[in-house]
Chain A
């Protein structure tokens, strides 16, 4: 072989090598993307199945009467109004207690507490509290609110228990919302002679409000959907009347479903009602999440810093 041909064949070889290397990398990339896509499809599949399953089983009983009437004939007929109202009151009560406390705590933690070891431990504790199983909150509520404070099994005890459960959610989302406000706003505030409180009240809070609202609504969604915290503190299997005071027992959607399925005496009539209730609960929570999403998107459009 002459020098020339050798050089030519060498050049050809390297170019072939590069080509096969490129093909190899492309293949790996394709496999990678396919796995990611497949995971997504599986996730969506299960989510859809759940929603469709509940919707198909539940729509049969869904009508105006179902939403607005009292249960009749040992809960085999009629509506689920007391459960809807109960869930509404419980969530409302939880928010009334948890929102001011949570927001004020978050403001203190983020704006005033500084950055020492103790504050870090408290923040970590609050984040971990969000992961505590809800039945633990239920037992706590039974011991403290029902027994110790003597509120009994009531709307009040249930609301307080739910409030404590959603506090960490509200605190941590509020802290995140406050953290996302750039320090340059705080500096600008000091620069014009504002006090810390004037800065927090006049600049930081309004800017962080959409984030705080989002967190709150997600908290409400969680409060509305939970069974365990209200199991020993607020709910009753069946009541003939709507709750009269904050010390009344209430019915609630999640527990209503549980009770119909496990303790019902007429499964034939009651199981469809359970699915109907599940559908109502699902729509309620999805609706709340939708509101949160709308607030967040609107705020993002306005946010320009």
Chain B
């Protein structure tokens, strides 16, 4: 099962219609098997194993330093950038281990988009922020780019606010708008999975609410994984929740069950605010 690395990215088939078809019988989208990550001698993730379901929101919660961000950055191989990172185990997406040496991280990141903690638009115009991503993946046709940019901005619920100033700098937007632009940027290259690494921690409650609504809308088309400090947020929007503590996955299950009747004492202590 070795995927030959594509030098030229293949023509992208519109994923908006057929993402659901990519789900297998038991609805699993990503299989994580015995994932271990260490930085130098610091063992950050220990034997993390669970499955992420299709078209759902999976929240990862846990106290600071438990490995949440490290975990989510494994899913699009962002940890590859850090030279000291050592990763073992498997992450299987579409029947292929994304850590297979022949798997191109650039292709993976097109499939698995990411939104970061702090809004980080490029120092370019609003429209260029999205067009850049399309061009690097080989889309040159101007009309095609424009079509996709507009549709991505609409999907990110930002169109009405920016339609008259698409050529303004992305930094002229408010923090919440910038974060939605970053979501639009991820959507424009038509991923199948979107990772959110504490996307609301730098935003005010109103912007947070907008982004939460947006995520709930997006899960119809995409598989969403979110790392969050905010337990209420996890309870509000996620379908499944995993609790990470000191690098171990203590508990994973349906959000309603995990929050109302946790199986583990540690989970209960954490969600009731006894530590963390």
Are A and B associated in one complex?
A: yes
Q: List 9 A-B contacts (CB under 8 A).
A: A114-B83, A184-B120, A188-B182, A190-B109, A191-B116, A192-B110, A195-B106, A202-B136, A303-B123
Contacting residues, chain A, for B109 (C-beta < 8 A): 190-193
- Contact indicator B171/A304 (Cβ below 8 Å): yes
Chain B CB within 10 Å, residue with most, of A189, A193, A305: A193
Residue B212 is within 8 A (CB to CB) of chain A in the complex: no
- Annotate A179-206 by CB proximity to B: 1 below 8 A, 0 otherwise: 0001011011111111100100011001
Residue B78 is within 8 A (CB to CB) of chain A in the complex: yes
Which 4 A-B residue pairs are closest in the complex by CB-CB distance? A304-B171, A193-B109, A184-B120, A191-B114
Tell me what chain A mostly uses at the interface: helix, strand, loop, or mixed.
Answer: helix
Which interface class (under 10, 10 to 19, 20 to 34, 35 or more) fits A?
20 to 34
Residue A70 is within 8 A (CB to CB) of chain B in the complex: no
Given A302-B169, A305-B171, is A193 in contact with B116 using a C-beta cutoff of 8 Å? no
Given A193-B109, A193-B137, A193-B189, is A188 in contact with B122 using a C-beta cutoff of 8 Å? yes
Contacting residues, chain A, for B133 (C-beta < 8 A): 192-194
Given A191-B114, A302-B169, is A185 in contact with B120 using a C-beta cutoff of 8 Å? yes
A304 to B76, CA, bound (A): 29
- Annotate B96-107 by CB proximity to A: 1 below 8 A, 0 otherwise: 000000000111
Interface residues of B (CB under 8 A from A): 76, 78, 81, 83, 105-110, 113-116, 118, 120-124, 132-133, 135-137, 169, 171-172, 182, 185-186, 189
- Contact indicator A202/B123 (Cβ below 8 Å): no
Residue A207 is within 8 A (CB to CB) of chain B in the complex: yes
Interface residues of A (CB under 8 A from B): 114, 182, 184-185, 187-195, 198, 202-203, 206-207, 302-305
Closest B residue to A304 by beta carbon equals: B171
- Contact indicator A187/B110 (Cβ below 8 Å): no
A88 to B187, CA, bound (A): 51
Closest B residue to A194 by beta carbon equals: B136
Q: With A187-B120, A191-B109, A305-B171 given, name 8 new contacts (CB 8 A).
A: A188-B182, A190-B81, A190-B109, A191-B114, A191-B116, A192-B189, A193-B107, A193-B189
- Contact indicator A198/B78 (Cβ below 8 Å): no
Min CB–CB distance A203 → chain B (angstroms): 5
- Contact indicator A193/B123 (Cβ below 8 Å): no
Min CB–CB distance B213 → chain A (angstroms): 22
Closest A residue to B171 by beta carbon equals: A304
Neighbour of A305 across the interface among B105, B115, B123, CB < 8 A: B123
